[in-house]
Every structure is written in structure tokens, then in C-alpha cells.
Amino acid sequence: MATTNTAYANVTVKFVINEKGNPPGKLADAELHFNDGALAGLKLIGFGVWERRSGGGRNVTFPARQYSVNGERRCFALLRPIADATAQDRIRDVILSAFAEHEASACEA
């Protein structure tokens, strides 16, 4: 299980590479380690980096909790926008950019 780190201003993105290929399409798990501010010293886990089924790029899944209602399984997103529905795009872009940097450094090595 390989791990890599990519640092940004207030957060470090840490990856645990999915070397076994199970489930299919999952490339890595990602964690956000906070370096500054009120969240310094904490990490947010549960992100996943996936290859798109259509082969057209990558996707990031966010931490969620599953629950059942009348036998039906549902998901409750743990990281949600307050007002701006596109707020999650910034985190998604940071994780995808860090993963691209990881892949580029792995190819150079």
C-alpha cells in the first residue's frame, strides 16, 4: 500500500494508492491533512479517486455515511456546501491536481 503527499497552502493531500485494483476503477483513497488554522493537526478522510467508467478522466467521491429507510440504502454526504453549490469543486480540483502531480512524479521515478 503506497502513500504519497502533496502540500498546498493550508492542507496536505495524502493518497493511499489502490494497488490491488479492487474495486475496479478505484485509483486511490485520499485524505486532507490540515496544516493551519482551527483545523490544524486534524485530517478529513473518506475521499476516493476513481477512473471514470467512460474513460474520460477522473472523479472524486466525498465522505458519506450510509443509512437505511424502510430497507432502502441511502447516503448522507458529510461534506456539503453552505450556500454555493459549486463549493465542492474547489476541493475536487485540489485532490485531482494533487493526484496528477503524484502520477507525474511516479512516471519520472
**Residues 70-80 pLDDT 10s:** 999 999 999 99
CA-CA distance, 96 to 72, in Å (whole number)? 32
Is 95 exposed, middle or buried, given 0-12, 13-18 or 19+ CB atoms closer than 10 A? buried
Cβ(103)–Cβ(17) under 8 Å? no
CA-CA distance, 86 to 57, in Å (whole number)? 19
**Residues 10-32 pLDDT 10s:** 889 999 999 998 999 999 999 99
Is 103 exposed, middle or buried, given 0-12, 13-18 or 19+ CB atoms closer than 10 A? middle
